[in-house]
């Protein structure tokens, strides 16, 4: 134990202090100049969120109306997704190199992608049950907010046709929770700021 502590100390505090590059401050300030403006009380975030939301609504509308799905690439992509569903019905973020906390959100997106696939009904039903069971009960951590919003989105899309009664029940709870976290600016955010694009969309 002592040798590990000594080695760790040598590898951290024992390292020679490094001087930052002479132009470090200049580079930071230049980078700040390139950042998009984030102003308190502005409607920048809300506008972006609205634009993204419209994009999502249009894509959902198109997917439902014109039944995209004939292309070979889409068929292959759906098969690829199906093959990666976990035995418990979820798509595990860790399996794709992601953070396991976001598994419900990843499952939600996979289910939306597969919902019209004729050969995936059983997988989707299993996924819906698993997603309903793994929906967060809180909106505190970043992952919970993301899982709750995307999970609710998927459950809303999937239960629209009248199926999945367990999804509808979980959905109504999730929507009530989401309503309680809408910001004054009308969006949804991780931290009480005006709104986050992904969450609001």
Partner 1 sequence: MPPDAPDPTLREQQEMLAAARGDVQAFERLVATYQKPLVNFFVRSGVSSDAEDCAQRTFLRIWNYRHRYRPTAKFSTFLWMVARQVFLDEVRHRSRKERLHKAFGKEQPGEAAPNHETGPDVASAVARLPKALRQTVLMAFMQGLKYEAIARELDVPLGTVKSRIFHALRRMRKFLEEE
Query: Quick check: 147 and 136 in contact, CB under 8 A?
Result: yes
User: 23-42 mask for partner 1 (x: CB under 8 A)?
Assistant: -xx-xxx-xx--x--xxx--
- What is the rounded end-to-end Cα distance, in angstroms, of the chain? 51
Rounded least distance, CB 95 to partner 1, Å: 8
Identify which of residues 18 and 138 has a Cβ nearer to partner 1 in the complex.
Answer: 18
Per CB under 8 A, does 20 bind partner 1?
yes
Per CB under 8 A, does 180 bind partner 1?
no
Q: Which of 53, 64, 86, 98 binds partner 1 (CB under 8 A)?
A: 98
Rounded least distance, CB 197 to partner 1, Å: 15
Per CB under 8 A, does 47 bind partner 1?
no
Per CB under 8 A, does 137 bind partner 1?
no
Tell me how far CA of residue 53 lies from CA of 8, 76, 88, in angstroms. 49, 27, 31
Which two structure tokens, joined as six digits, stand for 71? Answer: 């292309």
């Amino acid at each position: 134990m002592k040798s590990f502590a000594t080695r760790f100390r040598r590898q951290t505090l024992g390292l020679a202090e490094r001087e930052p590059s002479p132009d470090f401050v200049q580079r930071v300030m230049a980078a700040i100049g390139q950042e998009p403006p984030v102003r308190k009380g502005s409607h920048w975030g809300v506008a972006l969120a609205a634009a993204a939301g419209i994009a999502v609504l249009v894509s959902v509308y198109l997917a439902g109306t014109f039944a995209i799905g004939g292309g070979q690439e889409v068929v292959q992509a759906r098969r690829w997704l199906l093959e990666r569903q976990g035995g418990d019905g979820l798509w595990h973020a860790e399996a794709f190199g992601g953070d396991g906390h976001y598994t419900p959100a990843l499952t939600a997106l996979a289910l939306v992608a597969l919902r019209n696939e004729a050969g995936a009904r059983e997988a989707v039903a299993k996924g819906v049950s698993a997603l309903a069971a793994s929906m967060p009960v809180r909106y505190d951590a970043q992952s919970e907010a993301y899982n709750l919003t995307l999970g609710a989105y998927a459950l809303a899309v999937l239960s629209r046709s009248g199926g999945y009664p367990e999804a509808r029940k979980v959905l109504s709870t999730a929507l009530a929770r989401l309503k309680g976290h809408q910001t004054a600016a009308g969006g949804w955010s991780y931290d009480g700021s005006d709104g986050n694009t992904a969450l609001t969309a």
